[in-house]
Chains A and B, each alone.
Chain A
Amino acid sequence: MAKSFLRRFTYFERVVHWVVGVTFVLLLLTGLAFAYPSLFWLTTFLGGGSAARVLHPQIGAVFGVGLLLMFGLWVRDMFLDSQDRQWLGAIKHYAAHERDKVPPAGKYNAGQKLFFWVQSLLGIVFVASGLLLWFPEGFGPGLLNSMRLLHYLATLGGGLFLIVHVYLGTIAYPGTARGMIDGKVTPEWARLHHPRWTGERVER
């Protein structure tokens, strides 16, 4: 008998997610190379310092477009409701896997929703400060140096969120990553993580 699944993400959503994911990792590697002299060797992955300097902002442009699409695709699911606020209050039970004490989540839980808003905000900071650093001619040193600091702080936030995001999406909650690979999750997974979500049923 064919096992049935729930459709978590469409093909287009998955493509957009991985465009943002892959570009962000490339940006992180080259960005860390520019921020930390001891990590300058990371530029090797993009062909050395000069190539990394040229590619970093271009990849950043793709990242920006991807993020914009992502925002458009998901924004209407991302507003917090009253149960989400209770969820946030119970976040330590969520972390301790005490499911009976965690209010049921919809398609996205409150943590994911906040992640979405913070990353969207950081995206604006990345793109705005990055554009100035990409075309610095005509801007004063004070402005550019503060853009450099802002760009770094956004990286710090984005990088820390990435660690949490990858950890929770892979080893912490088995079955989650598949939703972003072939787009499917099992009904059991959905019942556990997103009880209020009724996804579209698909065979195999």
Chain B
Amino acid sequence: MKIHEYQAKKILAEYGVPVPKGGVASTPEEAAAVAAHLGGKVVVKAQVHAGGRGKAGGIKLVASPKEAEQFARAILGKDLVTHQTGPKGVPVRKVLVAEGADIQRELYLAIVVDGGARGVVIIASEAGGVEIEEVAAKTPEKILRLKVDPTLGLQPFQGRKVAYFLKVKEEQVRQVAGLVASLYGAFMENDCTLAEINPLAVAPDGRIMAVDAKLSFEDDALFRHPALKELHDPEQEAAQEVQARNAGLNYVQLDGNIGCIVNGAGLAMATMDVAVAAGARPANFLDVGGGADEARVAEAVRILLSDSGVDAILVNIFGGILRCDVVARGILIGAESASRNLRPMVVRMLGTNAEEGRKLLSQSSLDVKLVNDLGEAAAAIKALG
């Protein structure tokens, strides 16, 4: 689960990470009031769940409360399109107004769960202010990666190692090491999957603070953090994705024209690849999950049919625990409730009760082409082309 920058900074500040003074505003007037309270130059930042806000025109340094108000008016209520959002963009409902920090150096500090290292890894770089992927690709030697031993936990020497790697002044070493410990505490206690400070700014007077911050929490661990759930902002996601999650479906909206309904994440990716190999583009990733019932499958069908970009639907079920006849009934229920907007379907069913499922579909009034394997599925998709 992603949260907004202002929320992340509030949490990090509670753990002792220094952040610039500021406040969040939902209206231009509020933005002006926060700017007036802070005084001097302030930065106004659109609050959206996407990177690349600066380049997309979502962040502005302004000299007065009036300018803050003007800029807030220009972006609040609008959709911001960045290189991470897709063409529709995401709505800006709030802006963060923060003191304009004087920056001498821009550093990078993050903590992630790294599958390769099988654990928690601290990442630091002198090359802050740009995307770390870019640094990793061009100048990997500028990145320090430190694994935290799961039994020992973070040790102070690791914080010092980060500080020396970042070449901060001797008198700042303790401060940086402390900051690493604070970030680690926030990460572990909230079951984060990512805690990133970029840039970690060094001011000319030696102060160090998190000018931008990002926190993501692990969905699977939210059950032990009920308070964090409150921070969720469903407006930042496509409506279909919220609908799918509520139905217990694993769904990711894409921009193609072939809707996919599959059981299992791996098979769902494979099915998308089959659509691509057939010269089409998948409209979505969708895994109904092993424990799916008729109602959940029906909801999947409704979600796909509500997407006007979908020209045809490819169903690929390898029945194990999930029975094919259950899927077939779900498809019929879902299609019935959207009878005016039906699209042709290519269906491949194998495994538990496959014959029964195929029979239910072939005897229905739906435009269904039953296929036996993935090769035939690709050919059928191509024929619809």
A and B are partners in one complex rather than unrelated chains: no
